[in-house]
């Protein structure tokens, strides 16, 4: 019996009791109104419900008396071994071994699909993250946003949402001109511009630009700058894309900021032009002293925003508005922005944009601000000089260690990683601890096959050891953990769950044998335990995949 089936059983018992005590009191009551929890003390049973405490006032009953009545009804439900009332009205439920153990086969049969749920079905979500300027390598901050954003998208997909991972390429504006002048100066052997980009990576890009276009210096000055800028941009963007793929992060959409300003060969209105007209149609645009403003204070912004200056030049806010509207035009009703610690000002701005566009700021836009991350002893990039590069970190610590460690903490908490710990092959290293548990499940399966233990028999009632009860209880929680982590946008909940599951598996491994001792015959309990072993491996594998981390079969 899984948590959903048990919740349905509780509802089936509670609803008529509530109806009988006070007519109509059960109207609209659903299983989600009667949540189940895993008791911290396993002596209290497999599940606990506070249904009586929650409903007592509405039905005019004493909580403990109501709990006693509910308990009597639950004791008649097939698969429930016993029910006890504790304290002022808590209901502790213990499942029969067969009902609890049946989950092992369910998991094995479901395979990679176990943990998937429908909690986000019907939601179309655009998750934008990293979105670095294509003027240099990705750094340590981008590394954290890449890990968190990708894991968040994986959780939403596993929970039934339609999701696009999107990278906004900041390839318009003054920084691109500085970038082009910097590369061109390096190509000519000249000093970098005073406000330009410096580092060995600029020299590398310059060499690649000259190799790609040997006739570069035959062009006039303006054409040289444009050609150097565009070639270097393509090369640098390619490096960014390659760095992310090596980090196991895939983007569905690479959106160029230039697209927002493009007027085409027929000089049609750009998306930015159209954005101003669309916001004006919503009634939140006004003109003052020749400039065009959006009255964002109507939606909680600290000040109204200029969208087009008196000289006709658009502000950055105009591009933000056009981009927001474009996401909606592409069918994404909900937009998640994962931004760096220096972007707090964007929270009110983007919420105000949603309101000005006629959307619901509370439902249609979400801005998550990530905090800084550092690594003890990390060296600055030899190429860029003033940053810690993603590629250097990945080569030093490994993709798995980085992705797991960055996904293990909430985005809004500052984080310092310990490289010595992350490189250890001991249980002190959380990613090793979880991966080793997965590898151990495969080792058990290999040894079982060699000893003649297979899954030809399944007798879940035999999974009655206390460590089996605890392990099965944790396995039951995986779908709910995935759904909740998706709902609150917190991948770290999956990592912490996996560590708990790994610990319970190791305890079970020490207490229950899958392979008979000595010459003892293979029995039903051994075959059934193999199902439980393989089910645990499957859940560990599924959870690691949600974090973008590999699940090795040997370690």
- Asked whether residue 90 falls in the same domain as residue 202, the answer is no
Q: Which token pair is 274?
A: 């159209």
- Asked whether residue 134 falls in the same domain as residue 260, the answer is yes
- Asked whether residue 345 falls in the same domain as residue 266, the answer is yes
Within 8 A by CB and 6+ apart from 195, the residues are 178
Please give the model's pTM, rounded to 2 decimal places: 0.90
CA–CA separation, 92 vs 39, rounded Å? 8
- Asked whether residue 30 falls in the same domain as residue 149, the answer is no
Exposed, middle or buried by CB within 10 Å (0-12, 13-18, 19+), for 27?
A: exposed
CA–CA separation, 503 vs 338, rounded Å? 32
418 is a domain residue: no
Helices 174-187 and 200-212 pack at an angle, to 10 degrees, of: 80
CB 66 within 8 Å of CB 75: no
- Asked whether residue 290 falls in the same domain as residue 349, the answer is yes
Total domain count, the chain: 4
- Asked whether residue 339 falls in the same domain as residue 428, the answer is no
Specify the CATH number for the domain of residue 353. Answer: 3.40.50.620
The residue among 216, 243, 270 that closes a domain is: 243
- Asked whether residue 199 falls in the same domain as residue 274, the answer is no
pLDDT of residue 187: 97
pLDDT of residue 400: 97
CB 297 within 8 Å of CB 303: yes
- Asked whether residue 131 falls in the same domain as residue 189, the answer is no
- Asked whether residue 334 falls in the same domain as residue 230, the answer is no
The residue among 340, 356, 373 that closes a domain is: 373
Count of CB atoms situated within 10 Å of the CB of 76: 10
pLDDT of residue 41: 76
348 is a domain residue: yes
- Asked whether residue 132 falls in the same domain as residue 68, the answer is no
Within 8 A by CB and 6+ apart from 440, the residues are 505, 506, 509
The residue among 213, 243, 273 that closes a domain is: 243
SS3 389: strand
Domain that holds residue 80: 3-95
pLDDT of residue 1: 74
Place of tokens 């006709």: 312
Instruction: Compute mean pLDDT per 10 residues along the chain, 555 residues long, and list them.
Output: 85 89 67 82 84 88 93 94 93 91 96 97 97 94 95 98 97 94 97 93 97 97 97 98 98 97 92 95 94 93 93 94 97 95 85 94 93 83 79 95 96 91 92 98 98 97 94 94 97 98 98 95 97 98 98 96
Q: Which token pair is 74?
A: 């639950």
For residue 63, what are the CA distances in angstroms to 14, 35, 51, 52, 213?
Answer: 13, 16, 9, 5, 81
CA–CA separation, 526 vs 458, rounded Å? 9
pLDDT of residue 45: 84
- Asked whether residue 149 falls in the same domain as residue 228, the answer is no
- Asked whether residue 160 falls in the same domain as residue 198, the answer is no
pLDDT of residue 345: 81
Distance of CA 341 to the CA centre of its chain: 18
Within 8 A by CB and 6+ apart from 476, the residues are 2, 3, 100, 103
pLDDT of residue 27: 59
* Phi and psi angles of residue 345, each rounded to the nearest 5 degrees, phi first: -65, -20
Q: Which of 95, 6, 92 is nearest to 49 (CA)?
A: 92
pLDDT of residue 24: 55
Specify the CATH number for the domain of residue 541. Answer: 1.10.730.10
């Amino acid at each position: 019996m899984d948590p959903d089936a048990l919740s349905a059983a509780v509802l089936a018992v509670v609803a008529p009791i509530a109806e009988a005590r006070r007519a109509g009191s059960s109207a609209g009551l659903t299983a989600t109104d009667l949540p189940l929890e895993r008791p911290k003390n396993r002596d209290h049973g497999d599940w606990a419900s506070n249904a009586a405490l929650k409903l007592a006032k509405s039905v005019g009953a004493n909580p403990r008396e109501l709990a006693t009545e509910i308990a009597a009804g639950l004791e008649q439900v097939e698969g429930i071994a016993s029910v006890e009332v504790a304290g002022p009205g808590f209901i502790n439920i213990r499942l029969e071994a067969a009902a609890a153990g049946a989950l092992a086969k369910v998991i094995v049969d479901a395979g990679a699909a176990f943990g998937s749920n429908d909690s986000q079905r019907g939601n179309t979500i655009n998750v934008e993250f990293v979105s670095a300027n294509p003027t240099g390598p990705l750094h340590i901050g981008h590394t954290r946003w890449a890990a968190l954003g990708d894991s968040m998208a994986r959780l939403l997909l596993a929970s039934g949402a339609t999701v696009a991972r999107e990278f906004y390429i900041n390839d318009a504006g003054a920084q691109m001109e500085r970038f082009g002048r910097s590369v061109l100066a390096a190509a000519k052997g000249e000093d970098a511009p005073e406000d330009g980009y410096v580092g060995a990576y600029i020299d590398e890009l310059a060499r690649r630009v000259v190799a790609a276009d040997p006739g570069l210096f035959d062009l006039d000055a303006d054409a040289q700058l444009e050609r150097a800028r565009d070639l270097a941009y393509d090369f640098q963007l390619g490096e960014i894309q390659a760095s992310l793929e090596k980090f196991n992060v895939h983007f569905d959409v690479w959106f160029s900021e230039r697209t927002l300003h493009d007027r085409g060969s027929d000089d049609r209105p750009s998306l930015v032009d159209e954005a101003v007209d669309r916001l004006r149609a919503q009634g939140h645009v006004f003109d003052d002293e020749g400039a065009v403003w959006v009255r964002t204070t109507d939606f909680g912004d600290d000040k109204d925003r200029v969208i087009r200056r008196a000289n006709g030049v658009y502000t950055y806010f105009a591009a933000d508005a056009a981009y927001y509207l474009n996401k909606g035009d592409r069918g994404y009703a909900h937009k998640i922005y994962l931004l760096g610690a220096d972007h707090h000002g964007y929270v009110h701005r983007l919420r105000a944009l949603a309101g000005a566009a006629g959307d619901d700021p509370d439902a249609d836009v979400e801005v998550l601000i990530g905090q800084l991350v550092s690594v003890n002893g990390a060296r600055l990039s030899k190429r860029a000089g003033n940053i810690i590069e993603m590629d250097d970190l990945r080569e030093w610590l490994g993709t798995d260690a980085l992705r797991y460690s960055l996904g293990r903490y909430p985005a809004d908490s500052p984080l310092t990683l310990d490289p010595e710990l992350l490189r250890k092959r001991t249980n002190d290293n959380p990613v090793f601890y979880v991966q080793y548990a997965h590898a151990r499940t495969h080792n058990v399966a290999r040894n079982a096959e060699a000893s003649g233990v297979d899954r030809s028999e399944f007798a879940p009632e035999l999974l009655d050891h206390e460590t089996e009860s605890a392990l099965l209880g944790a396995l039951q929680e995986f779908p709910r953990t995935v759904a909740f982590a998706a709902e609150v946008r917190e991948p770290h909940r999956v990592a912490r769950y996996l560590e708990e599951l790994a610990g319970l598996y190791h305890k079970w491994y020490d207490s229950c044998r899958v392979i008979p001792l000595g010459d003892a015959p293979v029995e039903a309990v051994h075959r059934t335990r193999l199902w439980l072993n393989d089910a645990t491996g499957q859940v560990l594998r599924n959870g690691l995949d949600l974090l973008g981390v590999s699940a090795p079969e040997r370690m």
